[in-house]
Amino acid sequence: MAKFNFNMQMQAIVVGNLSDEFIRHTTNVLGNYELEFSVCPDVYQAVSRLAKTNGNVLIVGRIEQLSRENGRFFRIASKKKAWCCCLTETNSARQYLRSLSMIGTDAFVINEPAEIEDVLARLLQSRDTSVAASSDKPRAMNRDIRLTNEELGALLGNEGTKL
């Protein structure tokens, strides 16, 4: 998992269109935290931006956008030691599992736009406590979908655990 570089400011790359309420909300929150951010319309521009950015980078976007190109974006973000935060607006455990499977590791998964504040708070707190998101599993910020793979497997049967 990416560790916070204390010598550098955090920057954010928001992936999506400003006509999307989640993207607008995210940019407002980032503005409130006085964080530097840029908005990229899609993952292609986001990769271009990410490749030219160093330091602590948080990438925020909807799962549908960030998982394009078979989830390749997450691997590039992981290589660049960037944090990803994906919004997945689904209460379906099956879809949630699929999202987790695609993301792999090192990502925050939220299912409400407002939870972006929790993610930011957690990341910025980690700057002070040196415990920047150290789990090797994706983090679900919402209690309703915070289930283990085993629990989901039990819910979905064998199919669930294969995802």
Partner 1 sequence: MKNIDFLSAADKPGILLIGDAEKLFSDGQDICGLGVEIRSNILDGIEAAASNAYDLIAVAMSGSSAKLTSAIEALRTANSGSRRAKIILLAQMYQEPTARQLVGNGSNGGGLADDYLICPTSFSSLVAGISCLESRAASDLPRRAARHDDDVVSQRVAGTAGEVQDTRIRELEKLATTDELTGLKNRRYIWEFSRQIIEHARKQPGRVTLLIFDIDDFKHYNDVYGHSAGDDILRQAAVLMRHCCRCHDIVGRVGGDEFAVIFWDDPHRKPTDTEAERRSAAEHPQEAIFIANRLRKELSKAQFPLLGPQGRGILTISGGLASFPRDGSTVDELFDQADKALLDAKRSGKNRIYLVGKPENDIADMQ
- Comparing CB distances to partner 1, the nearer of 23 and 133 is 23
Sheet with 36-40: list strands edge to edge.
36-40, 10-15, 56-62, 83-87, 107-110, 139-140
CB 16 within 8 A of CB 62: yes
Least separation in angstroms between CB 133 and partner 1: 23
Are 114 and 23 within 8 A, CB to CB? no
Of 12 and 66, nearer to partner 1 (C-beta) is: 66
Nearer Cβ to partner 1, position 75 or 98? Answer: 75
Residues 26-85 that bind partner 1 (CB under 8 A): 41-45, 47-48, 50-52, 69-70, 72-73, 76
> Binding of partner 1 at residue 86 (CB under 8 A)?
no
Written as one letter, the residue type at 98 is R
Answer for the pair 103, 59: CB distance below 8 angstroms, yes or no.
Answer: no
Residues engaged in binding partner 1 (CB under 8 A)? 41-45, 47-48, 50-52, 69-70, 72-73, 76
